[in-house]
Chains A and B, each alone.
Chain A
């Protein structure tokens, strides 16, 4: 057993308790309310998210029995998870009132948030797996959330089957890790891993890592992402692409920070392996994105590339600066990705699809929405002064500084160079999306649903825009985030 400060369960897990309460309240209200009062369901779920967000900012920190560790990265991750979830609920509020299954949708969304925040708190392979699994089960259903749509059903099925295999791999690896090291918590495993571990343990850890890599859609376990994002409704793709990723990255930050402190014999090998995966993700995603003809597929591949960049920061230095760079990157990715997907959800509602062909003529018909999409996509591409630029610069600085300062880590310089090259390539694929939306010519656009944007969607897009601009100009952001991460 690990010696952590054991705080009271109720205090550390207050945000999760509030979230679970909101989930149950939504479920009960869905059963008892008459059909014409269903609008209140979204309000209950939104209130639950906001209350959990508030609680996560004031909840105390500490560990629980080597299962849960509420620290700085958990605070950031939980706040991001609940904020993103609340905003997505707000976006679908108007359309949801027309959906007889809106209550079930909300329950799935809240479960996704709850599972992801459990994963963000995990200090143990079983609690990490359990949190990711709750999030995944909700994610599978959300991906298929488009009644009668064959592509959405296929997306959900693919996600569930790929996800099931990854989860089983992770668990099988974890059981071997437990058998050979005698512990399931990160610190206990790290004590065995630190000095020249046996090949069997390394293999077991690799299997376990495969499960996490799948969640983050790291190459070579990324194949599901483009198909799932394309088939799933845009808002589901936003949730599935952001919320579990935030949880998994938070757990990874804690795992790398506690299992392998600097200077252990195997930490260089781990850094090399992680940066190889990161470079593979960056390069494969950038090249594959060039061949796509659907905006959601491009964003899926961009998510793979961004996960690679976050991994590169963590590989470079399992310390607080690297964690701050990756947390900042995660924040900018969450904000820009959410904004882009909310725009795409609007286009999808109007045009039935987000293929380049369907997006043609968007600028003439919806100038404001198209401009917003351009801003978010350019932020993902890393164009200054938008948030994505500072995030990329932060990761690059970490990788290059470490690679040049330390001969054992010289490969990080090459990883940094690969990141620059793949960022240039990826920017081209984002420009292809914008070319379709801005310059694609199509005279008659068959608009299925000509209603103007809902006020909830306007608020969400406004907040995402403000955050994208503000994060890009937040020059001491890395320092401030590092201060938050110092919380124990």
Chain B
């Protein structure tokens, strides 16, 4: 078990790190574009979690930048998912596949 620090920060940081590594792994290893997108969302949420966790520490001095950043991340991640899914749909309509290897036409 992870030892939580007196402020409970460590647990959040470990959780964020696990999420982030899982996201990087999905983004790099997945050939399915949806899988890559899920990886990106995991990475973004890891960042949001970490912002709010650090924000909790700094909030004692009246600094709420961490929480604000967390809200920003949530909003933009949603917009990012919408745009990326629309683009995946456009690819699927013309190529009938979203496998990044099979749909690849652009290369040197």
Which residues from chain A sit less than 8 Å from chain B, CB to CB? 126, 129-130, 133, 137, 140-141, 144, 148-151, 153-158, 160-161, 164-165, 167-169, 171-172, 174-176, 178-179, 182-184, 226-227, 230-231, 288, 291-292, 297
Chain B positions within 8 Å of A167 at CB level: 44, 80
What's the minimum C-beta distance from A155 to chain B, rounded to whole angstroms?
6
B22 at the A/B interface (Cβ < 8 Å)? no
22 CB < 8 A contacts A-B: A126-B68, A129-B72, A130-B72, A150-B103, A153-B91, A157-B88, A157-B103, A160-B84, A161-B100, A164-B80, A168-B40, A168-B44, A168-B46, A171-B73, A172-B43, A175-B16, A178-B69, A226-B108, A227-B107, A231-B105, A231-B106, A288-B108
A179, B90: Cβ atoms closer than 8 Å = no
CB-defined interface of B17-61 with A at 8 Å, one 1/0 digit per residue? 000100100010000010011011001101110110111011000
Chain A positions within 8 Å of B83 at CB level: 137, 140-141, 160
The 5 closest A-B pairs by CB, nearest first: A168-B43, A179-B54, A164-B40, A171-B47, A150-B94
What's the minimum C-beta distance from A182 to chain B, rounded to whole angstroms?
6
B94, A175: Cβ atoms closer than 8 Å = no
Provide the bound-state CA to CA distance between A184 and B44, in Å: 17
Give the contacting residue for B54; candidates A144, A160, A175, A292; CB below 8 A.
A175
Provide the bound-state CA to CA distance between A165 and B26, in Å: 11
Provide the bound-state CA to CA distance between A214 and B16, in Å: 23
Provide the bound-state CA to CA distance between A160 and B27, in Å: 12
Interface footprint category on B? 35 or more
B95, A175: Cβ atoms closer than 8 Å = no
What's the minimum C-beta distance from B49 to chain A, rounded to whole angstroms?
8
B47, A175: Cβ atoms closer than 8 Å = yes
B90, A156: Cβ atoms closer than 8 Å = yes
Provide the bound-state CA to CA distance between A226 and B72, in Å: 31
B interface, over-half SS: helix
A interface, over-half SS: helix
B69, A176: Cβ atoms closer than 8 Å = no
B105, A151: Cβ atoms closer than 8 Å = yes
If A126-B65, A157-B87, A182-B58 touch, does A176 touch B50 (CB 8 Å cutoff)?
A: yes
Chain A positions within 8 Å of B68 at CB level: 126
Provide the bound-state CA to CA distance between A171 and B88, in Å: 24
Give the contacting residue for B87; candidates A140, A171, A182; CB below 8 A.
A140
Provide the bound-state CA to CA distance between A151 and B94, in Å: 9
Which residues from chain B sit less than 8 Å from chain A, CB to CB? 16, 20, 23, 27, 33, 36-37, 39-40, 43-44, 46-48, 50-51, 53-55, 57-58, 63, 65-66, 68-69, 72-73, 76, 79-80, 83-84, 86-88, 90-91, 93-95, 100, 103-108
Chain B positions within 8 Å of A144 at CB level: 87, 90
B72, A126: Cβ atoms closer than 8 Å = yes
Provide the bound-state CA to CA distance between A178 and B106, in Å: 39
Provide the bound-state CA to CA distance between A141 and B82, in Å: 11
If A161-B36, A161-B84 touch, does A154 touch B91 (CB 8 Å cutoff)?
A: yes
What's the minimum C-beta distance from A241 to chain B, rounded to whole angstroms?
16
Interface centre among A129, A144, A164, by most B CB within 10 Å? A164
Give the contacting residue for A178; candidates B33, B51, B105; CB below 8 A.
B51
Chain A positions within 8 Å of B100 at CB level: 161
A230, B69: Cβ atoms closer than 8 Å = no
Give the contacting residue for B105; candidates A148, A150, A288; CB below 8 A.
A150
What's the minimum C-beta distance from A221 to chain B, rounded to whole angstroms?
14
Provide the bound-state CA to CA distance between A140 and B91, in Å: 13
What's the minimum C-beta distance from A339 to chain B, rounded to whole angstroms?
24
